[in-house]
Amino acid sequence: MIGVIDTDGECAEWAFPAEPGAVRTARHAVRGALRAWGLESVGDVTVLLVSELVTNSLRYASGPIGVRLVRRNPAADSPVGAAALLVEVSDPLPDPPRERVAHADDEGGRGLHLVAVSSQRWGTRHGKSGKTVWFELALPGE
């Protein structure tokens, strides 16, 4: 079951149980929020990166996984002076993820690399319990 925490205005936030269906459900929720905001132009890349980060959380953490989208106003808090979409994926594991080099025949190890090359900025931060991996995408035409 999805726990919708907040979907008003320029922010949408969900909590997903650490179960195999969480990745699919997170993709669906994120795509729906982006569609409602008229941001289909960044839908594919956002859904891909959320899938990677939620998969990482499922692989290593055992508690709920949070996903949060924030549509940033260029006049407000985007350091590059343009509209941006901030995406955060949180889990209860305190250890930050490590970007690694995946070899051609490796089945994993590419998620953080995809985040790094596909977003304009990304990072991690510690919370009261666990961590958040975040990335920011430019919103073209805004």
In percent, the amount of the chain with pLDDT more than 70 equals 80
Q: Rounded to the nearest 10 degrees, how much is the dihedral formed by the CA atoms of 45, 50, 53, 58?
A: -140
State the pLDDT at residue 21: 94
Q: What are 84-97's pLDDT values in tens digits?
A: 999 999 999 988 77
Segments of the chain with pLDDT less than 70? 1-9, 74-81, 99-109, 142
State the pLDDT at residue 1: 43
Can you give the pTM of this predicted structure?
A: 0.85
Separation CA 118–CA 99 (nearest Å): 14
State the pLDDT at residue 95: 82
